[in-house]
Structure formats: structure tokens, C-alpha cells
Amino acid sequence: MADDATRDRVRALVREVLEKAGPDSPAPTPTRFVNTVSESTAQPAVTRDESAKSVITEDDVRGLEPGAVLRIGEDARLTPLAADIVSEKKIEIVRRTSRGGSKASKLIAVGADHGGFKMKEELKAVLSELGHKVQDFGAYSEEAVDYPDFAHAVARAVADGGSDLGIVIDGAGVGSAMTANKVPGVRAAACYSVDVARNSREHNDANVLTLGSKTISSAQMREIVKVWLSTEISEDRHRKRVAKIDAIQRQYQR
């Protein structure tokens, strides 16, 4: 009887989650993330143009009406308070892009434990070669440390909007993924091949990549990172499924 009662409670919870995140419902807006569109793909009527600024603060968005459209620079960043107001008022962000299209450069947060230190240093060189900027959260040597500390730091940087994406390296990549996924707004994927890396971005919109220094070679790391960074979520059906992931997460947030 106890087992039956437990199964009934689990089924009821699953039904509740699915009802609140059904495929016909609009995709939810994460607290710290702002969905943006490029002017090359959509051109809504702009309510305010702040594209000359590199940082958008709460003062720049507080006076906007709900549903307003704000144009910002391609590389502009929103402060956490500004992002909260944008989310609350459902303000649409349009990024001004150059005539040649959107720049590929991103700010990537990186981190590793002692086992991933050497590969992290190689990773930083790869990212620089690809034209990206790097924010290194350590470790800074091969002295023994705890991987959750560095995975958490990278995940927080991504969730708070301080970095565009994150990459963490430990021995297997699994522990760092588990840690990063505890941070609301983070979708971390442990990838061990190019195909998995591509899928994690195209289907799951992963924003943190975790790698295992003991499971892949430097050459494999290079190819995985290149593909992961060059792939974007592509179809509405994938976005709806990612929205369900975010909706499930909110069910357990207090």
C-alpha cells in the first residue's frame, strides 16, 4: 500500500509539471538570462535605443513599460538588476549587429581542478585562437583542490550573466556537471565526443561544457570545444523542451 501511495504522488507531481510547462504554453523567461534577437532576423518596433552603451543598468530599463522593445549593442551586458527588471516586465531585447553579421567572440568562463589544470591551460590557448575572451577561475596549479569549488564559480559566472558560456575540466567531467547543474539557470553537459557536444547545444542549449582530462585527449578537447562553441539551438521543438527543463527546475526552487 505504501508503494502504491508513493507511485500516486510521483505521478501527480509529473502531471503537475507537464501541465505547467505544456508545449502550447509560452516559453518561460529565466531570471538571469535575457532572450535576445538579432536585427538581421527580426525587426520589432524599438521603444528605446541604448545601443551606444556597453553596460545596461537598472536605470536604463526601469522606466520602460511591460512588453517594451529595447535595442542594445551587440556586446553590451546587462547588470543582474537590469536583467531582473527585463525578465519581470517581459521586455524584448534586440541587439544591434554589424553589417557583416554577429561577432563570434564570446566571454568564456573556464575552471578546473588539479587534474584538469594542464588541459585548462591548453583550452585557454584554443579559445584565444578562436577569438574568444577568457575568464579564468582557477585552479592555478596542480596542487590538490576540490572540483566543486571551481565548477560552482564558473556556473555562477554564467548564471549571473558575467560570462556568455562556461567550460570546466576535471578528471571525468561528471562531478563538475553535477555541481554546475545545481545552480539555477545552468544547463551543464558532460561531453566526451564531438557528436555529444553538438547535440548538447543544438538540442539542449547547454551553456556550460564539462570535460574529463582523463577521458579525452588534447586533440579531442580541441575539436569538442570548437563544435560546442559554433553550434546553437536551432528549432522551436528543441526550445520547447528546454523550456520544460527550466520549468521543472522552478518547481523545486523555494
Contact 239, 249 (CB under 8 A): no
Q: Which residues pair with 42 in a beta bridge?
A: none
Q: In angstroms, rounded to a whole number, what is the distance separating the alpha carbons of residues 147 and 151? A: 6
Residue 196: Cβ within 10 Å count? 14
Asked if the structure places residue 53 within a domain, the reply is yes
Q: Which has more pLDDT, 196 or 16?
A: 196
Asked if the structure places residue 244 within a domain, the reply is no
Of 44, 71, 98, which one is at a domain's C-terminal end? 98
Domain hosting 190: range is 107-230
Residues in contact with 150: Cβ distance below 8 Å, sequence separation at least 6, in sequence order: 111, 112, 113, 137, 138, 139, 168, 176
pLDDT at 98: 46
Confidence of residue 202 (pLDDT cuts 50, 70, 90): very high
Of 73, 98, 123, which one is at a domain's C-terminal end? 98
User: Is 132 annotated in the active site?
Assistant: no
| Stretch 64-68: mean pLDDT | 89
- 122 and 48 share one domain: no
Burial of 52 (0-12, 13-18, 19+ CB in 10 A): exposed
Percent of the chain whose predicted confidence (pLDDT) is above 70? 78
As for how many domains the chain has, the answer is: 2
Residues in contact with 165: Cβ distance below 8 Å, sequence separation at least 6, in sequence order: 106, 108, 109, 158, 207, 208, 209, 229
Asked if the structure places residue 76 within a domain, the reply is yes
Confidence of residue 26 (pLDDT cuts 50, 70, 90): very low
Chain segment 69-97, per-residue pLDDT in tens: 888 876 678 888 888 888 888 888 887 65
Confidence of residue 27 (pLDDT cuts 50, 70, 90): very low
Residues in contact with 7: Cβ distance below 8 Å, sequence separation at least 6, in sequence order: none
Asked if the structure places residue 27 within a domain, the reply is no
pLDDT at 82: 84
- In this structure, of 100-109, 186-195, 202-211, 215-224, the range with the lowest mean pLDDT score is 100-109
Confidence of residue 28 (pLDDT cuts 50, 70, 90): very low
Chain segment 2-20, per-residue pLDDT in tens: 455 655 655 565 455 445 4
pLDDT at 71: 81
Asked if the structure places residue 240 within a domain, the reply is no
- 145 and 193 share one domain: yes
Average pLDDT, the chain: 82
Residue type, 142: E
CATH of the domain at 127: 3.40.1400.10
pLDDT at 3: 54
- 225 and 125 share one domain: yes
Contact 219, 207 (CB under 8 A): no
Chain segment 138-168, per-residue pLDDT in tens: 999 999 999 999 999 999 999 988 999 999 9
- 224 and 112 share one domain: yes
Percent of the chain whose predicted confidence (pLDDT) is above 90? 48
- 79 and 152 share one domain: no
Confidence of residue 63 (pLDDT cuts 50, 70, 90): confident
pTM (predicted TM-score): 0.63
Burial of 155 (0-12, 13-18, 19+ CB in 10 A): buried
- 113 and 193 share one domain: yes
Q: Which of 132, 152, 203, 238 is catalytic?
A: 203
- 94 and 134 share one domain: no
